[in-house]
A and B are shown apart, each in its own frame.
Chain A
Amino acid sequence: MNTVQPEKALPEAVETPSRFRNPIGKFVVTRNSRCTGCGLCASLCPHGVHIKPEGYAKPLPPRSERCVGTACEKCEYYCVARCPNKALSVSFNSTLETMGDYRWTPEMLIAHWHMAETGNLPEVDLEYSLGSSGGGFDKMRFRTPVPSEYIKISDEVIDTSLDLNRRGDERPQKTLSLPCYGGGMSFGSTALNVIVGRARAAKRLNTMTCTGEGGYPPEFLPYAEHVITQVATGLFGVREETIQNAPVVEFKYAQGAKPGLGGHLLGDKVTPEVAAMRETVVGSSLFSPFPFHSVYSVEDHKKHLDWIKEINPRALLSIKVSTPSDADMVAVGSYYAGAHIIHFDGSYGGTGAAPDIAKKNIAMPIEYAIPRIHRFLKAEGVREKVCLIASGGIRNAVDAAKAIALGADGVVIGTADLVALDCIRCGKCESGRGCARGIASTDAELGRMISEEYAEQRIVNMYTAWRKQWCEILRQYGLRSTRELVGRSDLLVNMDYLDEAERAKYKPAPQNKLVI
């Protein structure tokens, strides 16, 4: 532990509207032909739905996504009621029924778009912390806070930092300002501007992003101190210098979304640029084998870590594994093998490229795995020596806080970053030329729909909003840092284990029925 970096000031949120026209909101505001252009609605609405610029005869089309909907009915400025010509109406947006899925509900998506645009938590009545999956984090709540526990401190003095080196070995300390960092997304699976935008955001947020298994584009170099080099089983694009560039090297043994299946990039996405980066054949599918062919036991594992340590004497080492039934053993084994970070990837994660049968059936759900590993490491007396990271279906700030309360030191986020960039969770990441929204695509046209700057600011905004939420959770329970939240599973309740009266005190999870 040579240097402890001081807590860095958090970056500014900058309003960054969606790059698409007609953003989707929970409500639809319509203005019919009876409108005379009196402009009353524009002067009334505090949410900015109605805008009538100087000299315009009529207001602009309503900015429906800003509308708080029926919650406004009782307000004296409720536009529908006040319109002298009854030209306005508000209704639920039926698009929501066709959007998202049971884990990422339409409201959760819309709320994250809002956060990515504004850096604030949404004012519209959106349930963005709970999904409709009927299990996992959706069954879990923070217990009702006791008012006397509340401490009135500002966000600035709350500590959300995360130390990555807790071994106390000769390697440097690295402290992130947020208890989370970005998961691996390869050049190939994801557009270059998206992954570079994530790296730029990571630099501004003083956290990190990860190369995934697709090589190390030179565009990462200005942000190298915030880019994890992933060494995965296919070893695509991994070279000595990419290992030497990185402050943290991540061994990806498996993904929770598809343990035992390795990786697979379909031929369609192997464009000339992707093939060049990975030094493979254009148009040929690329396989990452399931295991490391050089690692079939724990002493091989240690040797593998020793190798990376030899190549890069300052790197911290992270082990990313899925959550097998013996996850606790894997954690202890990794600690003794010399890992600084042990990263468990549970079963809920994965984009469209992970097969459903695997996503839903193989690995242990992360909320089971975390406390089990946390306790096992404690019993072994080494919990304070490792940085325990959880990922796999951690969708929002509250999920992240729950994972930490269950025993993780921090979390890794993948999908939410993409949602910040307008992902609609259509689940077609792998097909054809890739993503219609230009996120998960390296196609010559689709892959350039996003600029680095846009990606950077949207992601910065979303985490800025998340931090606000974490601070509020911490204040409620009298905590001053996310470190104090680690392992506080006493702050959580599971709806299944509450009696009916107790359960009624909590807001039920949304019961979306999707028409997909």
Chain B
Amino acid sequence: MPQENNSIIDDLLAARACLPLSGLDETEAAEEGGCGVTGFIASVPVSGRHIMEPSFQMHNRGNGKGGGIAAVGLSAVSLGVAQDVLDSHYLIQVALLDPSLRQAVEAEFITPFLDVHSASEVPHLADFREVKGLEIKPPDVMRYFARVKPAELNRFISENKLGAMDVRKAEDEFISQNSFRLNQKYYSSLVDKKAFVLSHGRDIMILKIVGYAEQVAQYYQLEDFKAHGWIAHQRYPTKGRVWHPGGAHPFIGMDEALVHNGDFANYYAITEYLRQFNIQPQFLTDTEVSVQLFDLWNRTFNYPLEYIIEAMAPTSEYDFDQLLPEKQRIYKHIQSTHLPASPDGPWFFIIARNNPYEHYKQLIGITDTSMLRPQVFALQEGEVQIGLICSEKQAVDSTLESLSREDRRFRPVADKYWNARGGSASDGGAFIFTIRDSGKGDGSKKLVCTNKFGDAVNVPAGQKPFNPPADYDAPVSRNAISQAVRSALSAADNTDFMRYFIHGMAKWNYASVIFLCHELTDIGLSDKARSAAIEILTALNDLRYPTGDKKRSSVLQIIRDALHRLFEGTPDFTTGSVSGYRRLDWFGRGDLRAPSGNEKVLLVNARDFPPEGAECDARFIVSAFQLGWRRFICYGYRGQRFTGCGLGKETDGVRIDVYDSSGDYLASGIDGMEIRVHGNAQDQLGQIMKRGKLVVFGDVGQTLMYGAKGGDVFIMGNAAGRPLINAVGRPKMVINGTCLDFLAESFMAGDPLKGGGFVILNGIEFDEEGKVRELNSPYPGSNLFSLASGGAIYIRDPHGQVVGEQLNGGEIVELSQADWDLIRPYLAENERLFGISIENDLLSVKGQQKPFTEVYRKVQPVKTGAPKPPPVKEKACKPA
């Protein structure tokens, strides 16, 4: 059998050798650029308008010079064909940059070879200028549902000796080669590009334009077009003048569409590798060769998906050591054969795929081994299920928000959000959402999320999502809740209320939670009540507690709605009010003035502010600060960046509370102020931070505290990659979860026992009951404290799992009493903020209290033999 497989592979490769030479010079650098990517796949078909909102939100990751959308698992109704035609026929879409060529293209590449079931022009707006901002007319696209003519297929099989191959797979190959020839003739061989194939797989289609991705949906009228899976790409080509969308993403293999964010260093090496298998690029972008690799490993070599991912993002270093021997043996073979083709550099792929042979559709996200591109995965389960993969968390949230507006079965908060690290031994850094028949016999589909190794990613079982309006009715414990809220609003602190809430939460129904929230938000307009209500609802939003049979994501949704109600209920500047709270949004921003009387708290609804630039909300906060405002509550974020930046030095006494999907660079450069992020945070937080306090009630993204000089930082969850890189001075950080890799690389923060900096890594998480539990490993990455010359890591590692192989220039030593005395106050503050107890959670191992020396370990720089600095005769180096 393997012999036979090999001969099929050889025959296939030989068949491709007959293709015309593309004649392109791959030594010419591939077209470069950056981008934003987003995608989702749901157990029910959803309309294209929902890919538009996240695309629009990521405008600042593209520049309007290339946008594309792919859809998989299409609606036969939307396409006007029968379901069996959709399932069995190739859906070929040809972009005609020169519309007059339709006849010529058809006469040469369609009519002679294909039985066309139906041919139509993809509908579009009459005038492209109807789409606001669209400057270049998108191509006319011809859509054919077709099969290869039996006689032609037989000729193809016999000429290429593909008789041993599955006939249908031979037909795939014919279609693929036919598209190559079409592209060769009308695209890659010409200076003036005229036509190319957008997509040709089964039940999958691609459209792309020179513009933004959401404009694709507008122009080709996909707002109401239904499909299970959608991916979109905002392109940021470096080259300025772009007149056709040939270089835009997604790119096709056979039945898959791939979008890519990143840039390879080894583009040429990959083209050389592909050339060995008679595969030639036609579009000169690294995205094209990525999908060519996928197609080669998938359709020619028949690799299972796990091996394809391994070939893309090889497992190496410490991760490789952790694999089982059998897996190591296979991976070693894969790496020795395919390593030259592993994309080198920053990259992140989202692939939408149909497998017509095994009847499933997939959405796949694969990250590079150094985690150099931002990415976030999310999963929501319930009556319908959805998996999402995006460049930024805010794109996940805006997709869900958009969906939930149309279909209440989708909810604005996902059950689970996470990041990945390519080549990791625990999950492989790749996640796959697969939609297949539910087996119920009603044609319904179900979604399963797995990692590279096929392990399922689950959300807590047995919990019901919030289902309005039915869930509005019949709150239990009504009177008791009312009573508790009333006493909480006048109490000195909310400890009693929280105890009551956590106790009650497990047995309440959704209606009770809603009732409780309304009691809090509607109880009065006094500042005291408002302040207490904000504090309580914020705590309910931030902390972990058991939610009984209710989904945590649904409870959060209710609490966040209540918070918004409270915020929106504060007076703006135009209403006369004695309140110390004032609220502003984009439309009322002109009313901003200095605080007068007892005005203390400025609420900023960031929602409609641009994410950057002279008018962004971050600059608005600077203006308010300069007018004298010190206390800010900012909400409604949709990825707006730079919150807290630009206030300058010595901002002690300023506090900003941030709600919703905050953006990159938050708290970068702050010097003295305090910022609290009530939820997950994004990338590049606290860059060059000087002083102050940053608290994140959730996870943070890449390069937290890069180049920081100081500050106290508390992270409730994980910090994705490279936190504290190149940090100096005296930053002090507690990460309660873990970091995927490169923690404290080039850390230079002196001696922590003499005022220098450190990071405490607790390696814990909250379980479904809101209880603290240990992670499988406190630090799974291969690189810890690399090249560090100062500072230290205090790592909670009671089972001694961190090993010397993970270190590069560091050493593991036992904590001294002085170390413990140093970190204990930070753990105490951590306890106060997040409810993570030193005694019961951190120092308790498998229910047993242990001394700190048996729980924490210290990683410090190896003393190098560097010569001592010369004696200093005078203190200052003043000018002569």
Q: Which of A306, A307, A325, A381 contacts B29 (CB 8 A)?
A: A325
**Chain A CB within 10 A, most for which of B35, B789, B879:** B879
Q: Which of A278, A284, A297, A332 contacts B34 (CB 8 A)?
A: A297
Q: How far, in whole Å, are A321 and B82 apart by their CA atoms in the complex?
A: 57
Indicate whether B618 reaches chain A with its CB closer than 8 angstroms: yes
Q: Which of B618, B649, B868 contacts A240 (CB 8 A)?
A: B649
Indicate whether B282 reaches chain A with its CB closer than 8 angstroms: no
Indicate whether A469 reaches chain B with its CB closer than 8 angstroms: no
Indicate whether A219 reaches chain B with its CB closer than 8 angstroms: yes
Q: Which of B346, B729, B866, B869 contacts A285 (CB 8 A)?
A: B866
A332 and B239 form a contact (CB under 8 A): yes
Q: How far, in whole Å, are A280 and B671 apart by their CA atoms in the complex?
A: 18
B668 and A286 form a contact (CB under 8 A): no
Q: Which of B612, B869, B877 contacts A448 (CB 8 A)?
A: B877
Which residues on B sit within 8 Å (CB–CB) of A443?
870
A267 and B867 form a contact (CB under 8 A): yes
Indicate whether A254 reaches chain B with its CB closer than 8 angstroms: no
**Chain A CB within 10 A, most for which of B32, B33, B870:** B870
Known: A285-B866, A297-B262. A442 touches B746 (CB 8 A): no
Indicate whether A293 reaches chain B with its CB closer than 8 angstroms: yes
Indicate whether B688 reaches chain A with its CB closer than 8 angstroms: yes
Which of B127-135, B578-586, B629-637, B701-709 is found at the contact surface with chain A? B701-709
Report A180-211 residues with CB < 8 Å from chain B CB.
Answer: 192-193, 196
Which residues on A sit within 8 Å (CB–CB) of B665?
303, 307
B671 and A293 form a contact (CB under 8 A): no
Q: Mark A233-249, 1 if CB is under 8 A from B, else 0.
A: 11110111101100000
Indicate whether B62 reaches chain A with its CB closer than 8 angstroms: yes
Indicate whether B263 reaches chain A with its CB closer than 8 angstroms: yes
Which residues on A sit within 8 Å (CB–CB) of B746?
234, 287, 289
Q: How far, in whole Å, are A302 and B263 apart by their CA atoms in the complex?
A: 16
Q: Which of B641, B728, B876, B880 contacts A307 (CB 8 A)?
A: B641
A333 and B238 form a contact (CB under 8 A): yes
Which of A59-67, A88-96, A268-276 is found at the contact surface with chain B? A268-276
Known: A239-B671, A303-B60, A448-B877. A280 touches B645 (CB 8 A): no
B688 and A329 form a contact (CB under 8 A): no
B790 and A296 form a contact (CB under 8 A): no
Indicate whether B171 reaches chain A with its CB closer than 8 angstroms: no
Which residues on A sit within 8 Å (CB–CB) of B756?
281
Indicate whether A294 reaches chain B with its CB closer than 8 angstroms: yes
Q: How far, in whole Å, are A80 and B556 apart by their CA atoms in the complex?
A: 97
Which residues on A sit within 8 Å (CB–CB) of B748?
279-281, 284, 286
Indicate whether B874 reaches chain A with its CB closer than 8 angstroms: yes
Give A366 Cβ to nearest chain B Cβ, in Å.
Answer: 19
Indicate whether A380 reaches chain B with its CB closer than 8 angstroms: yes
Which residues on A sit within 8 Å (CB–CB) of B749?
279-280
Q: How far, in whole Å, are A294 and B644 apart by their CA atoms in the complex?
A: 18
Indicate whether A129 reaches chain B with its CB closer than 8 angstroms: no
Report A419-457 residues with CB < 8 Å from chain B CB.
Answer: 433, 442-445, 447-448, 450-452
Q: How far, in whole Å, are A475 and B702 apart by their CA atoms in the complex?
A: 55
Q: Which of A234, A268, A333 contacts B726 (CB 8 A)?
A: A234
DSSP class of B's interface residues: helix, strand, loop or mixed?
loop
Indicate whether A299 reaches chain B with its CB closer than 8 angstroms: yes
A307 and B668 form a contact (CB under 8 A): yes
Which residues on B sit within 8 Å (CB–CB) of A238?
688, 707
Indicate whether A170 reaches chain B with its CB closer than 8 angstroms: yes
Q: In chain B, what residue has the closest Cβ to A331?
A: B238
Indicate whether A45 reaches chain B with its CB closer than 8 angstroms: no
B interface residues, how many (CB within 8 angstroms): 80
A294 and B238 form a contact (CB under 8 A): no
B707 and A234 form a contact (CB under 8 A): yes
Which residues on B sit within 8 Å (CB–CB) of A239?
649, 669, 671, 688, 690, 709
Indicate whether B619 reaches chain A with its CB closer than 8 angstroms: yes
Q: Mark B258-275, 1 if CB is under 8 A from A, else 0.
A: 000111000000000000
Which residues on A sit within 8 Å (CB–CB) of B751?
281
Which residues on B sit within 8 Å (CB–CB) of A445?
873
Known: A294-B684, A296-B263. A281 touches B877 (CB 8 A): no
Indicate whether A282 reaches chain B with its CB closer than 8 angstroms: yes
A289 and B726 form a contact (CB under 8 A): yes
Known: A297-B373, A307-B668. A285 touches B645 (CB 8 A): no
Which residues on A sit within 8 Å (CB–CB) of B787?
287
Known: A240-B646, A310-B646, A311-B669. A298 touches B32 (CB 8 A): yes
A444 and B874 form a contact (CB under 8 A): yes
B36 and A268 form a contact (CB under 8 A): no
Indicate whether A510 reaches chain B with its CB closer than 8 angstroms: no
Q: Which of A192, A240, A311, A381 contacts B240 (CB 8 A)?
A: A381
Give B770 Cβ to nearest chain A Cβ, in Å.
Answer: 33
Give A185 Cβ to nearest chain B Cβ, in Å.
Answer: 15
Indicate whether B616 reaches chain A with its CB closer than 8 angstroms: yes
Indicate whether A368 reaches chain B with its CB closer than 8 angstroms: no
Which residues on B sit within 8 Å (CB–CB) of A332?
238-240
Indicate whether A336 reaches chain B with its CB closer than 8 angstroms: yes
Which residues on B sit within 8 Å (CB–CB) of A125?
none
Q: In chain B, what residue has the closest Cβ to A244?
A: B648
Indicate whether A221 reaches chain B with its CB closer than 8 angstroms: no
Known: A302-B60, A313-B614. A380 touches B241 (CB 8 A): yes
Report A293-321 residues with CB < 8 Å from chain B CB.
Answer: 293-294, 296-303, 306-307, 309-313
Q: How far, in whole Å, are A28 and B688 apart by their CA atoms in the complex?
A: 55
Q: How far, in whole Å, are A448 and B877 apart by their CA atoms in the complex?
A: 8
Known: A294-B684, A311-B646. A329 touches B879 (CB 8 A): no
Give B877 Cβ to nearest chain A Cβ, in Å.
Answer: 5
A298 and B728 form a contact (CB under 8 A): no
A333 and B32 form a contact (CB under 8 A): yes
Give A260 Cβ to nearest chain B Cβ, in Å.
Answer: 10
Indicate whether A326 reaches chain B with its CB closer than 8 angstroms: yes
A236 and B728 form a contact (CB under 8 A): yes
Known: A239-B690, A284-B790. A293 touches B725 (CB 8 A): yes
Give A427 Cβ to nearest chain B Cβ, in Å.
Answer: 21
B728 and A240 form a contact (CB under 8 A): no
Indicate whether B567 reaches chain A with its CB closer than 8 angstroms: no
Q: Mark B602-646, 1 if CB is under 8 A from A, else 0.
A: 000000000011101011000000000000000000000110011
B238 and A280 form a contact (CB under 8 A): no
Report B122-151 residues with CB < 8 Å from chain A CB.
Answer: none
Q: How far, in whole Å, are A293 and B703 apart by their CA atoms in the complex?
A: 7
Q: In chain A, what residue has the closest Cβ to B36?
A: A299
Indicate whether A83 reaches chain B with its CB closer than 8 angstroms: no
B612 and A303 form a contact (CB under 8 A): yes
A433 and B32 form a contact (CB under 8 A): no
Q: How far, in whole Å, are A451 and B668 apart by their CA atoms in the complex?
A: 37
Which residues on B sit within 8 Å (CB–CB) of A272?
869, 872
Q: How far, in whole Å, are A192 and B868 apart by their CA atoms in the complex?
A: 22
Q: In chain B, what residue has the closest Cβ to A451?
A: B880
Which residues on B sit within 8 Å (CB–CB) of A381?
240-241
Indicate whether B797 reaches chain A with its CB closer than 8 angstroms: no
B869 and A307 form a contact (CB under 8 A): no
Give A365 Cβ to nearest chain B Cβ, in Å.
Answer: 18
Indicate whether B256 reaches chain A with its CB closer than 8 angstroms: no
Which residues on B sit within 8 Å (CB–CB) of A273?
876-877
A281 and B870 form a contact (CB under 8 A): no
A-B contact pairs, 13 of them (CB 8 A): A235-B687, A243-B669, A267-B869, A279-B730, A281-B748, A283-B866, A293-B703, A293-B706, A293-B726, A303-B684, A307-B642, A332-B240, A448-B880
A-B interface, 9 closest residue pairs, ranked by CB to CB distance from nearest: A235-B707, A297-B34, A279-B729, A299-B34, A284-B789, A333-B238, A296-B346, A240-B669, A298-B34
Interface residues of A (CB under 8 A from B): 170, 192-193, 196, 219, 233-236, 238-241, 243-244, 267-268, 270-273, 278-289, 293-294, 296-303, 306-307, 309-313, 325-326, 329-330, 332-333, 335-336, 380-382, 433, 442-445, 447-448, 450-452
Given contacts A287-B726, A448-B880, 7 further A-B contacts (CB under 8 A): A234-B726, A240-B671, A267-B864, A271-B870, A284-B864, A444-B874, A452-B880
